Amino acid sequence: MIGEDPIQFDRHYEGPIICVKGLRNSFGTQVVHEGLDLEVRRGEIIGVVGGSGTGKSVLMRSIIGLQTPDEGDVKVFGQSLLGRSDAQTIEVRKRWGVLFQGGALFSTLTVAENVMVPIREFYPNMDRDFRREVAKYKVCLSGLPPDAAPKYPSELSGGMRKRAGIARALALDPDLLFLDEPTAGLDPIGAAGFDNLTRELQQTLGLTVFLITHDLDTLHAICDRVAVLADRQVIAVGTIEELLALDHPWIQQYFNGPRGRMASSGKQLA
Ligand SMILES: Nc1ncnc2c1ncn2[C@@H]1O[C@H](COP(=O)(O)OP(=O)(O)O)[C@@H](O)[C@H]1O
Ligand SMILES: [Mg+2]
């Protein structure tokens, strides 16, 4: 029987940051995941790839508790989260930040106010001026100029909006960052800038990053390992070199097709 007390975040935990076992998700008769396993190591940027509709976003939502799976176990920071209430998981949820597909900033709030939303939610008693200072700092950390803080999302470019989304995801100094297709819709220069930001944040803040992406350049440039979703499961996890050694048609086509070859040669030039 699970009690109502919040489960505590264990600062000394050394194991995998995310551990998904035997996950099953379905919508009506459509089975999206079946027996899906995945482990994410501390400090890595793991790229999650797969065809459109293979369940990448649903996997992320299952891990962060927005989607209740039919079966399976999800542990984050070593804590089993399934079947727990929001009140029980609050200390663990504070330790991650999320950038959803599409960015999803509140359009009626400024960038700084957007960043303050999670701070207000998790630390309602924090002094208002201090909250503002924290928000300003996060805006700078995300590579935005300070004068972006009082602007509304509609006044920003697509790339700046993504950075504002990162600033909000970093609001609570997370250990783990979830990014769902962060470079989709950005031009190549904006996308490369965002990749650099992700890598810099991971290195300087010691983050673990769960990164869903279609972007082959991103995979080559910043991912330590790549997990491939197909046939309702994670069919392979490894470095791109390790994946290329596998004889799977989707993997071969994806990494060795014309776009894949271009992305890998671009990396060698860089
Ligand atoms: N809330 C939902 N209700 C019904 N079907 C859904 C829901 N969310 C996702 N799906 C379906 O699950 C499948 C996987 O979705 P998703 O994880 O969003 O794919 P992607 O890999 O492109 O991120 C899709 O076929 C999608 O239509
Ligand atoms: Mg998706």
pLDDT tens-digit profile of 43-62?
999 999 999 999 999 999 99
pLDDT above 90 coverage of the chain, percent: 80
The pTM of the full predicted model, rounded to 2 decimals, is 0.94
pLDDT per position as a tens digit, 154-205: 999 989 999 999 999 999 999 999 999 999 989 999 999 999 999 999 999 9
Q: Report the C-alpha dihedral over residues 255, 256, 262, 264, rounded to 10 degrees.
A: 60
Q: What is the mean pLDDT of residues 81-95?
A: 90
The minimum-distance atom of ligand 1 relative to the CA of 59 is: 17
pLDDT classification of 270: cutoffs 50, 70, 90: very low
- Ligand 1 pocket residue status of 33, Cβ below 6 Å: no
For ligand 1, atom 27: residue with the closest CA:
53
Q: How many whole angstroms from 52 Cα to the centroid of ligand 1? A: 9
DSSP string across 76-142: ETTEE-TT--HHHHHHHHTTEEEE-TT----TTS-HHHHHHHHHHHH-TTS-HHHHHHHHHHHHHHT
- What's residue 3's pLDDT? 58
The minimum-distance atom of ligand 1 relative to the CA of 58 is: 17
The minimum-distance atom of ligand 1 relative to the CA of 229 is: 21
Q: Give the span between the Cα atoms of 224 and 22, in whole angstroms.
A: 24
- The DSSP symbol for 144 reads -
N-term to C-term CA, the chain:
55
Residue 258 three-state SS: helix
pLDDT classification of 269: cutoffs 50, 70, 90: very low
Question: Beta-carbon neighbour count of residue 154 at 10 Å?
Answer: 9
The answer to whether residue 94 scores a pLDDT higher than 80 is yes
Average pLDDT of the chain, as a whole number: 92
Residue in the structure block whose two tokens are 């709030």: 109
Handedness of CA 80, 93, 64, 205 (dihedral sign): negative
- Ligand 1 pocket residue status of 16, Cβ below 6 Å: no
Q: Which two tokens stand for residue 49?
A: 């790839």
Q: How many whole angstroms from 59 Cα to the centroid of ligand 2? A: 9
- What's residue 263's pLDDT? 77
